[in-house]
Structure 1
Amino acid sequence: MPALSPTMTEGNIATWKVKEGDSFVAGDVLLEIETDKAQMDVEAQDDGVLAKILQGDGSKAVQVGTRIAVTAEPGDDLSTLEIPADNSKPSQPEASKEASKSESAPAPKKDTPASSSKPASSGASKSPAGKAQKQTYPLYPSVQHLLKQNGLPKEEADKIPATGPNGRLLKGDVLAYLGKINESAGSEVAARLKQLSHLDLSNIKPMAQKPKPAPEKAAAIPEEVLEELDIEVALPISLKAVTEVQQRVQKSIGVFLPLSTFIARAAELANEDLPRSQVAKPSADELFNAVLGLDKVGGKYSRGDFVPQVTALPPTTLSPRIPARKPDVLDFLAGKKAAAPKAPVGGAAQVVGPLNVFSVSVPKGDERRGRVFLERVKSVLEAEPGRLVV
């Protein structure tokens, strides 16, 4: 009966999932065990054959460590196997202690009866760096596995010299107690771990701080780069006529045309037949026309691709001009001074319509091409914006 928890002392066998004579592989569920807390499955650790079931379905209060079945190696002839006698008596702690020392229960193999094994140094030697003491802490899972694998009860842990922190029993202590490793191996590992747990900072020196480099001055822009920068050409254009056309269209047909539509259509017209660029490289078609002599016919103009940038300016207010009064001849002869002109009654300041600055960026040398484009846009928007509606 396996111990499925640290506090388990007995359990009930609910049902066997494998019958006598059936083969199983590692990971198969062999049986279900019930405890006062839960119901758990017991899985096979290795491949084998279930030779004999000693505790059947429904067995109650089966003590931990009691033999409940016997397994064999795959391919063994079950008819010739000898099942070893069960000398364990879990109900008597002292008898269990002696029996567990004198017997281990490996799976019987073909033509080889199970033999008992004894720990090589069961309680006979102690590790010089540790001492045997009662284990108040729960045992590590690796320690529990070694005790169970070698048939030692948990009470035997109190007799094994412990080298772990605060007197805890380690896996190496159990292996040294069983004679599977050198007796001093546990103490050597413990000493090394204690040494590695403290960092030796005696040879560490603070790193010298490097002086911060002085901030580099902004490099001057080479003249070649300045020559390649684009030049901005700007021209103020009034949109008063455009807004009037916009209002008339909306009142007459109920369609609102945004200002962007007027500007886009004016730019489309202004890009037609612009003076040829002075810096643009000729295309393959232009080179071919030059070879044929066709560049002389209409070769001075080309279509542009300018898109104007618009910057809005607030409307300006202009005071009405008052015409100067001509001096009277009689007043001049009589020695009278000319009176200052008076402002007309009811005169109002003149408000100039919305004024905007249209600009385009052109390469150096193409200022004339950009200026012609803006003048065309200005002419269309200020003089004849109605043609942009159709």
Structure 2
Amino acid sequence: MSAGGIWWAGTSTTLWRPLEAHLSLANSASMASIAAACRLSSRAVTRQLRRDVQSRGYRSSRANLAAQNFTMPALSPTMTEGNIATWKVKEGDSFVAGDVLLEIETDKASMDVEAQDDGIVAKIIKGDGAKGIAVGARIGVLAESGDDISSLEIPAEESAQAEAPKQQESPKEQQPAKEAEAKVESAEPVAETAAPSHKSTREYPLLPSVAHLIHEHGIAASDVDKIKRTGPKNQLLKGDVLAHIGQVSKAYPKELAGKVEKLSHLDLSNIKIAPPKEAPKKATPAPAAEAPVEQDTQVALPISMAAALEVQARIQKKLGIHLPLSTFIARASDFANDDLPRSKNAKPSQDELFDDILGLNTISSSYGVRGNFLPQITALPHTAMATVPRVRTVKQDVDVLDFLTGKVRSTAPKRIPATPLPGPAATTNIFSVSVPEGDERQGMVFLERVKEILEEEPGRLVL
């Protein structure tokens, strides 16, 4: 039995050791997985705890939840105030990041305000239609998700919180000030070289030249505020530092400041008003130079009136019509004025300029102008006047009885020499016209045409 037991024990010992090693490995793997799971859960809990600690802090008592003020946002760099058009949420409503909380109106546009984090609307301070709300003013109170609104502590407005510490500090500051005044009144007057009893408040940074001078002479920063300042708006000048270290007189900065103050205002007491200047005399305008008068030129041509007188006599003989020579001359002048050469002083008309633009070249043509010449005939002596016989009928007295009995005889008209008529003679006469200087050719062409008509073809003048 013992032998069997020994053998069993030995056998069991031999078999147990490999089994024990296998079980230990399995237990180690399971324990490692359990440890990893616990480690992950502990990290998650730690993170959440850290967030809670950062947002609410450690507490030894029951948590007193606090909300946050929601102020009017600045939707643009130049925005100073805005109006609330409407709230998109109500008190007690929950929201997530990105939800529109309200709509704000400005003088330029209307914009929606979105939530940055998840939370709950605890209270609305400025309702719909609120006008003129300054940027940074409280318009509502927000809480975090999961908070109990009924137990939340509504925070005070930030402006009220800032005023409270100032009111508490002001009584404390008044007491040292009163004590300092009492000490100054009881103290003996000090010498001028001593530093002032109060410290100068530095409103502006030191000038580079002043800072260099302070550093050069090793003046402590605590002593800089004790230097008397004479610059504008309590600014420390270089002269103040020089007076403090004794390089210039103590009164010099004050004197210099007085001079600058005096010279900053323009003194007009010694200025005399200059007498008004006399108005400049109007210069007498020089008489305008008279335009040179264009002198006309006389162009003359001898013309014979013999052919015209013959035509006049034939018409009177056949038709019994007397045509004066002036009619012949007027008709001849009318024919001669057609298609004369262009005057050198004449300006082209609008039609001619337009034709020239089209390339018709009508301006350069030498003929084609209607003249208005009327010739003057040189008066001749009385002996040169022509006598034209005229037919005159002598009126006879007829008895009525002779007329009724048929005894009256018709008598032929007698030719009685008429009185000589004044006018151009049958001999040569001088025809002349006045033309501007340079247009002699135009006048000569006119007279040549008149001569041709009166001497060669006067019959065309009565057609």
What TM-score, normalized by structure 2, do the two folds share?
0.27
Bigger proportion of residues as helix:
2
Q: Based on CA coordinates, which of the two structures has the bigger radius of gyration? A: 2
What TM-score, normalized by structure 1, do the two folds share?
0.32
